[in-house]
Chain A
Amino acid sequence: MSAKSTTTAPHPAGGFELPSYPRDDSSHPIMGFTGYVGTRLRTPEQPLRPLPQWLTEVTGPAFGHERVGEMDADLTRQHAGQPLGERIVVSGRVLETDGRPVPNTLVEVWQANAAGRYVHAGDRHPAPIDPNFSGAGRCVTDAEGNYRFVTIKPGAYPWLNHHNAWRPAHIHFSLFGRAFTQRLITQMYFPGDPLFDQDPIFNSVRDERAQRRLISRFDLATTVPEWALSYRFDIVLRGADATPFEDEEDDH
């Protein structure tokens, strides 16, 4: 499989410390939020069991630039022509709760096109597919945790959750961080969306301050003049209480 030293005993008898990632339940949605019909047959009925944070939990995969193609961070340049819609920059930082950046971590995004339609066989919304827009991107954060995408502002779209239900415009984000404990999939929304109040997915987050952390902010400073408007969205992952081995990030 992989050549490696066999000089170390496979399981030394403990005596080491691992980082600890405090839980952050108050930030997160209610799992079986009743307004969201899709939860009903999919949410466990038994209480979750505590899992210690041991070696498997405090580590995680390290995907980086090898998974990112040249056009992956610019969703407007993945086809022969320009997609329709409002061109935007979406950028921000991936941080831990102590404010430390998460460098060199893979960020994946996907979204509907400007008309509110996904390039997916399951999407029945009678809005046009844009032949110049697939709606998927990825990039890797830099040493300061910065990421940046160029894309098209997604449209709102109807879904069948309740009468006349519409999803607020959003971009899906997937993040690894540095540990299994930090894995996060979320959605970025746009400021001032009139559809927030009737959306059970947004409202499954009950803490208003936590809800606000799902909403990007318009940012004139990072617009590209004569080209694209810009939204900033910082993403905060669970941080470790302390890193017993290194005080500073030291990623060689």
Chain B
Amino acid sequence: MTAPLTTPSQTVGPFFAVPGALPWPDGPYVVPGGTPGAIRITGRVLDGAGEPVPDALVETWQADPDGGLGHPDDPRALAITGGRPFRGFGRCATDPDGRYWILTAKPGPLPTPDGRVEAPHLDVSVFARGLLQRLVTRIYFPDETAANAQDPVLSEIADHDVRATLIARAEGDGLRFDIHLQGPDETAFFAV
């Protein structure tokens, strides 16, 4: 039997926010409001001219604070979580200023199959009109200097300024993570 080939990606387009579509009312809440220790991450999505992208969709996926993912393909899953108590997923459409936000908990560090340790991070997907495929990036935490220095993904990026685009910065009570789609401040994006 010939294996089926994958269905191509297409742009999310400008109209994914019709009533009842992708922006869920609880989308930004990776953890419920009022969760002790919850962190608000906010930022703007900006285009190559530095203008806000008001029609982007930002999604995040992450481990729980103990590094659990509650997934059958995680060989540690049953030992750590015994199920799926943690949603792990955030989704927020940008507003007219290009701003998105999520409320989450800092994930734990994760082991790699070859015995190294990934610093706490969120995987991020960015969808927008004009993007024919999603863009993938990561959010790391500014108070994890030692862990970030050992992180095998960050360590692969030689340019300090590029590496810095992946690390959120403290702002007020929360964290700020801007996403520059293009230009001199372009965020590091990944092929996964």
What is the interface of chain A, defined by CB distance below 8 A to chain B? 1-8, 10-19, 23-24, 27-31, 33, 36, 38-46, 48-63, 67, 72, 78, 95, 97-99, 108, 110, 112, 118-120, 122-123, 134-137, 172, 174, 178-181, 183-187, 201-202, 204-205, 209-211, 213-214, 234-239, 243, 245-246, 250-251
Among A41, A50, A60, A234, contact of B48 (Cβ-Cβ < 8 Å)? A41
Among B1, B4, B8, B67, contact of A214 (Cβ-Cβ < 8 Å)? B8
CA–CA, A209 and B16, complex, Å = 27
Chain B residues contacting A40 (CB-CB under 8 Å) are: 48, 130
- Distance in angstroms from B82 CB to nearest chain A CB is 6
> B190 — nearest CB in chain A belongs to which residue?
A51
Chain A residues contacting B15 (CB-CB under 8 Å) are: 110, 112, 118, 120, 122-123
CA–CA, A78 and B8, complex, Å = 30
Chain B residues contacting A108 (CB-CB under 8 Å) are: 21-22
- 20 further A-B contacts with Cβ under 8 Å, apart from A41-B49, A122-B55, are A4-B80, A16-B111, A27-B6, A28-B9, A31-B131, A33-B132, A43-B182, A45-B48, A46-B188, A49-B188, A49-B191, A55-B74, A62-B70, A67-B24, A97-B6, A99-B1, A184-B9, A186-B7, A209-B5, A210-B8
What is the interface of chain B, defined by CB distance below 8 A to chain A? 1, 3-22, 24, 31, 35-37, 47-49, 51, 53, 55, 59, 61-76, 79-82, 84-89, 105, 108-118, 121, 123, 125, 127-136, 138, 152-153, 156-157, 162, 181-183, 186-192
Among A30, A95, A97, A181, contact of B192 (Cβ-Cβ < 8 Å)? A181
Q: Do A61 and B87 touch (CB < 8 A)?
A: yes
Q: Chain B: interface secondary structure?
A: loop
CA–CA, A201 and B10, complex, Å = 7
CA–CA, A44 and B132, complex, Å = 12
- Distance in angstroms from B136 CB to nearest chain A CB is 7
- Distance in angstroms from B74 CB to nearest chain A CB is 6
Chain A residues contacting B111 (CB-CB under 8 Å) are: 11-14, 16, 55
- Distance in angstroms from A192 CB to nearest chain B CB is 19
* Contact status of A187 and B17, CB under 8 A, knowing A5-B82, A17-B113, A201-B132: no
